Amino acid sequence: MSTVMSKQIRPLLHTNIPTSGGGGGGHLNTHLLRPPPLQKEKVVVVMGATGTGKSRLSIDLATRFPAEIVNSDKIQAYEGLNIVTNKITPEEQRGVPHHLLGLVNPNADFSASTFCDMASFAVRSISSRRKLPIIVGGSNSYIEALVDDGSHEFRSRYECCFLCVDVSIPVLHSFVSNRVDLMVEMGMVEEVRSFFDLSGNYSNGIRRAIGVPEFDRYFRMEGFVNEQVRVRMLQEVIREIKGNTRKLATRQLDKIYRLQNVKGWKLHRLDATDAFRKHGKEADEAWEHLVTGPSSVIVSRFLHNLDNAAALRPSPITTMTAVMTVHYNAVKKCFLASKLAGSQSE
């Protein structure tokens, strides 16, 4: 007799099917033929504080695996202010498809709920094309809302691999400060001027971005003061933007620390500090050795369901708990010292 196996995923348990051989009326116990459990689809999540190179890593991975990228930075989801929001350029995207990047109306309210709906749709769409979704961005609360939703729908459907790019606090602070200076050179002042709102409403849309509210007083006063005062006011704005960016990094590290230690997320830490200390070709080689290479190993093992995905380590990759504690305390001390110095100079 012929047997037709159904595609139904429910296993057949303790069902005896008559065999065709002999006259003894033998039976075949089909518990040996039960189908394997349905595997979850895979998702990679790249996290880290602002300025650590999350976007670079996501693109590195997407050029090594068949993948597409889902932006999870709530400010970069808005259209406009490409310099201020540090959006990745088309050239930097290297042909990798990006979702939820620069498409939301600048005046709209892009809530966590809206992000979850749009990101879920993007992830499903990418997976349906047999590609790997890579979620990347600094809005950790939005990532948490997506992954740990109340109905557990995302976790029940997807298995996540969390990568966290880390840079030591002093090195990161120096980098983001230099990045603000570069933004000014690229035309940040004029870009923000085009979004200046006389109503002073910086609570909605893209105007919440660091680098927009700080310019309010400058734009209101620049026509009434001389050149010397304007220069001094601009320097104050730039200094404030740098300080607020450092505070943002602190908040992001705080949330990552909580996700690791309170929520129990398994984060694979990639220390990029030495790559940030180098320049040119040496920096690129260090990034490959410390970040892209190890991440590729982790993701490959994750996709092939190999146990102990973090066991194979071409370069040091440690768990986040102890290291994040050190970083978090260092940040707090740094800001307390900065605040004290600021109060003494007033």
pLDDT tens for 298-309 read: 999 999 998 544
89-96: list long-range contacts, CB under 8 Å, 24+ apart: 92/55, 92/56, 92/59, 93/59, 94/59, 94/63, 96/59, 96/62, 96/63, 96/67, 96/68, 96/69
**Are 76 and 102 a contacting pair, CB within 8 Å?**
yes
Do 263 and 142 share a structural domain? Answer: yes
Within-domain flag for 233: yes
Task: Let me know if residue 42 belongs to a domain.
Answer: no
One-letter identity of residue 22: G
The rounded distance, in Å, linking the Cα atoms of 29 and 24 is 15
From CA 247, how far away is CA 171, in angstroms rounded?
15
Sheet holding 67-71, edge to edge: 98-99, 67-71, 132-136, 41-48, 158-166, 267-271
The pLDDT value given to residue 330 = 54
Which among 219, 240, 261 is the end of a domain? Answer: 240
Please state the rounded mean pLDDT for residues 131-160: 94
Domain range enclosing 270: 51-173+241-345
The answer as to whether 169 is a domain residue is yes
- Count of domains for the chain: 2
Q: What is the pLDDT of residue 323?
A: 44
| Rounded-to-integer distance, Cα 312 and Cα 14, Å | 41
Residue 164: CATH number of its domain? 3.40.50.300
- Same domain, yes or no, for 226 and 313? no
The CATH number for 213's domain is 1.10.287.890
> Is the pLDDT at 312 greater than 50, yes or no?
no
Average pLDDT over residues 21-47: 64
The pLDDT value given to residue 151: 78
The model's pTM:
0.79
Q: CA angle at residue 289 from 165 to 123, to 5 degrees? A: 45
Any domain includes 63 = yes
Rounded alpha-carbon distances, angstroms, from residue 32 to 2, 7, 36, 221? 18, 16, 11, 80
Q: Is-contact 270 324, C-beta < 8 A?
A: no
Per-residue pLDDT for 313 more than 50?
no
* Domain match, 195 and 224 both: yes
155 and 275 in a single domain? The answer is yes
Structure tokens at 339: 């605040």
| 200 and 113 within one domain | no
Q: 88 in the Ramachandran plot: left (φ > 0), alpha (ψ -120 to 50) or beta? A: beta
